[in-house]
Each structure stands twice: as structure tokens, then as C-alpha cells.
Amino acid sequence: MKSPLFYISLTNYRMPFLGILLLALVPSSSYAMWAGIPDTQLVKSPLIVKARYIGTTTLTLNKKQLQLGVLKVTETLKGNKQDVVLIRLRISPANSPRSSNEISFQLGQKGMWFLERDNQRKGVYEIKHPQRFIPEQQFKNRLPALLKLLD
């Protein structure tokens, strides 16, 4: 007959084993879920431009570094006409994991940008949702409906 101490020691190992098993079953990465934005909301943006993403720059304000994306504007559809627009980027440090709610752009990417003002920095805009950028090949089909909403 086995001693009660044997059963107690098995019970002590069961819980950590189940925890490890559960962790192994959970996917290692997760993705942000973005609710859709209707066109009627997008056109309420204070600045709407057709532009090309030409790069990034770093600006130091009050001893804090700010990552900015630079847009070369080809056409202003709403708001003050500008040749260049700075957008605030939320980029994780190089050696850290990438956040699932990070929105990134590729150099040379063209499209329509629905920009919101950065409340903390004058002259800087934000894109807090991926639908606030429509790639050039997609916005051509939506442009007539969007322009109608802007009138």
C-alpha cells in the first residue's frame, strides 16, 4: 500500500503541469481587432490629403524623442493646404516586441490619409486607426463616394 504522502506529492506536480500545458495551447502572438470606421466618420477628419510616405524623422521635445513620419502631399482634399505633413508614429524600440496595435507604413507608400490633430503637438497629425489610410489602388474606387460626402 502506498503512503498518503505519495499522493500529496503527485498533487503538487499536477497544477504546474496543467499551467504549462495551457500556456502551450495559447497562441504565442495576438492581434488587435479594429472596429470599422464608416466613410461618414472618415470625412470628418480635419485634414484629408493624397500623399506619399517619404520617411521618418526623430524630433526631441522636452528631452523626449518623438518619432514622426513624413508625408509629401500631392493634393489636399480637406483642411489647410500643405506640401509636407508630419504624422506621429507609435513605434516600439528596436529590440522590443512589436505591439499588435502599431500602425506602420512603407517607404514610398501612396494613398489617401484621413488625419487627426495631435492634441499635444501643434502641426503634427495622428493616425490612430489603420482605416485612416487608404492605399492608392483602393481609394480610386472609393474616391467618388468620398468626394460626394465632402461636399
Question: pTM for the complete prediction?
Answer: 0.70
What is the C-alpha to C-alpha distance for residues 58 and 61, in angstroms, rounded to an integer? 10
Name the least confident of 89-93, 106-110, 116-120.
89-93
| Domain enclosing residue 109, as ranges | 39-150
- Is the per-residue pLDDT at 139 higher than 60? yes
Mapped onto helix, strand or coil, the DSSP state of residue 92 is: coil
Which pLDDT score, from 0 to 100, does residue 73 have? 97
Write out the DSSP string of 26-91: S-S----------HHHHTTSSEEEEEEEEEEEEEEETTEEEEEEEEEEEEEEESS--SEEEEE---
Asked, for residue 33, whether it belongs to a domain, the answer is no
Which pLDDT score, from 0 to 100, does residue 43 have? 92
Asked, for residue 1, whether it belongs to a domain, the answer is no
Asked, for residue 14, whether it belongs to a domain, the answer is no
Asked, for residue 31, whether it belongs to a domain, the answer is no
What does the pLDDT average to over 70-96? 84
Asked, for residue 86, whether it belongs to a domain, the answer is yes
What percentage of the chain reaches a pLDDT higher than 90? 34
Which pLDDT score, from 0 to 100, does residue 138 have? 86
> Per the structure, how many domains does the chain have?
1
Asked, for residue 48, whether it belongs to a domain, the answer is yes
Residue 104 pLDDT grade (very low, low, confident, very high; cuts 50, 70, 90): confident
Give the CATH number of the domain where residue 135 resides: 2.40.50.120
Asked, for residue 32, whether it belongs to a domain, the answer is no
Asked, for residue 10, whether it belongs to a domain, the answer is no
Q: What is the pLDDT of residues 27-77, one digit of tens each?
A: 544 444 556 788 899 999 999 999 999 999 888 877 888 889 999 999 999
Q: Identify the residue with better confidence: 98 or 75.
A: 75
